[in-house]
Amino acid sequence: MLNTFDDTVSAINRWQLAQQHLDEPKYRDDLLKYLRKEMNSTASYTYMPKEKISVRKEDGRRLCDIAVGLNAVGIEMKKDLKGKREVDTLTGQLVGYKSQYSDLIVVLVGKTDEEAFEYLKLQISAIKDNSYTAQQRIKIIRKDKNTEQDDGDIWRGFKPPVFRPPKMKL
């Protein structure tokens, strides 16, 4: 069974930034390329290919950066989210997108200010409480420097030493 929103969220969570970019369109193009490949690959546990999913770049005032699928999950990317004004602008964009997309995903890249992130969560919560958008899902995924450095998992990357018994002379 196909669940475009959950599959898209999973794919974005697996997306590894190869490098930091100077501008948002390069992040968008990088994610777009990754999603086109990832969303249309054959599942490893089956011999049947997955249903082909459209992943396209959107252009226009009332459109997200990327749309996925027929019912269109909208993906809006934001680089270096710094303050209340930028969050207010993003919130206004999301309200405008609600009639264009079944669900929305906000992907934060670059460097995100923690206060701006907390304010964004509050604003999105207010959008979700709106009765018109109660069925619409909105997810924030952080791929910014603040979360790429350390998520508190001290064992990540740890490789235990290999025990090799001493060679014995016969």
Six-digit token string for 76? 């809006």
Instruction: Tell me the whole-structure pTM to 2 decimals.
Output: 0.78
4-14 vs 24-39: helix crossing angle, rounded to 10: 120
User: ∠78-127-54 over CA atoms, to 5°?
Assistant: 55
pLDDT tens for each residue of 42-83: 655 555 556 788 899 987 778 999 999 987 899 999 999 999
Least confident of 23-37, 84-98, 103-117, 135-149: 135-149
**pLDDT tops 70 at residue 165:** no
**Beta carbons of 102 and 92 less than 8 angstroms apart:** no
What percent of the chain has pLDDT above 70? 75
Asked if residue 152 has pLDDT above 60, the reply is: no
Q: What is the pLDDT of residue 1?
A: 41
d(CA 110, CA 144): 5
Higher pLDDT, 128 or 153: 128
Average pLDDT estimate for 120-146 = 81
CA angle, 150 then 152 then 155, to 5°: 95
Q: Confidence class of residue 35 from pLDDT cuts 50, 70 and 90? A: very high
Q: Which residues of 40-77 are buried (b: 16+ CB within 10 A; e: fewer)?
A: eeeeeeeeeeeeebebeebeeeebbbbbbbeebbbbbb
CA distance 108 to 79: 6
CA 42 from chain center: how many Å? 21
Per-domain boundaries in the chain: 4-149
- CA–centroid distance for 134 within its chain: 21
Instruction: Round to whole Å and give the CA distance between 51 and 93.
Output: 30
Looking at residue 159, its pLDDT comes to 45
Fold topology of 4-149: Trna Endonuclease; Chain: A, domain 1 (3.40.1350)
